[in-house]
Amino acid sequence: MSNQFFSFAIGLGSKNNKGKWLEVFYPSPIFDPCPELIRKLGDTIGYTNGNQAIELNQEQLNDLRDTFAESDLKEQSDIMDQLVQSRQPAVATILEDDSAPTSTPEAYLKLHLISHRYVKPHGTNLSGIFPLLPNVAWTNKGAIDLDELAHRQLEARARGEVLEVSSVDKFPKMTNYVVPTGVRIAHTARVRLGAYIGEGTTIMHEGFVNFNAGTEGTSMVEGRISAGVIVGKGSDLGGGCSTMGTLSGGNDIVISVGEGCLLGANAGLGIPLGDRCTIEAGLYVTGGSKVNLLDDQGEIVEVVKAGTLASKSDLLFRRNSISGAIECKTNRSAIELNEELHAHN
């Protein structure tokens, strides 16, 4: 066995009538677990090496409960007391390394790790995750296979009930699995499992945070944080603004927002922003946008593509009210900034 492991978790999940996993809930994943613990658990569940998701029978659940009861992991012991009484399918998922997930339980564990703040966006390998996440109906009775939905709806009606379908998607809402400390989320359906919500963040009703994306700390989110985008502490995303993620046109460029930035209402971002930057309301800045670079006196020094300003700090992007051209001002001389842009060191 390896001397170091990436993660370990025991969870409960849902399966369809064909025995395929639909989703898995891990109440308390262990990040970077002690190798000795894995060895003890391996003797109980038959784990040898590699990344594995092992479905657990009742005898194994009871043995795991005893193993945790003998350890100093009280939270895990308390969880096992509840799991042994459940009739839902149980699984132990061990990630020896951070290679791409190969099963639905592995994929769900990695999403949990991000939402539990164990790893930040881009901090774990999610390659090939989409085929591992079944598109299911998320209902008040849990996840239901789409091929089985009509029958379940009829069953509910026959009992005089309504099976409420809140969404049909590959990703569930984060708060049904993880509720991070110190956050406010006005509309929980708009934050997907796999989002990283930093402590102190407020997400208003129109705010949206995709998986593998989020905020590092205190932020106000009234706009869209697309997949792969990370927002620095103290930044404000105004109502209706959007960030271009790797799934929506950003390609391999990782879009990010630095600390203390402001994206105005209905603004858009398609380049990485440095710290203390502002994009005025209604302005969408992409890498190819033509920008008039202004000096301290408001005179045009050079016309550049916005991509050349990526990750630079203290910038204000605005539209000229007369010409409509995009302009960029800086707290420093634009000439100094221009020299920095063309430096090759």
Active site positions, annotated: 222
**CA atoms within 13 Å, Cβ hemisphere of 272:** 16
Question: What does R_g of the chain's alpha carbons equal in angstroms?
Answer: 24
Q: Of 23, 20, 36, 21, give the one whose Cα is nearest residue 193.
A: 23
Long-range CB contact pairs, 33-41, < 8 A, 24+? 33/5, 33/7, 33/8, 35/1, 35/2, 35/3, 35/4, 35/5, 37/8, 37/71, 37/73, 38/1, 38/5, 38/8, 38/94, 39/1, 40/67, 40/71, 41/8, 41/67, 41/92, 41/94
Q: Look up tokens 């700090």; give the residue.
A: 313
Give the CA angle between residues 242, 243, 248 to the nearest 5°.
105
Please state, in angstroms and rounded to a whole number, the distance separating the CA atoms of residues 107 and 179.
Answer: 19
**Listed residue (110, 259, 116) closest to 199, CA to CA:** 116
Distance of CA 47 to the CA centre of its chain: 29
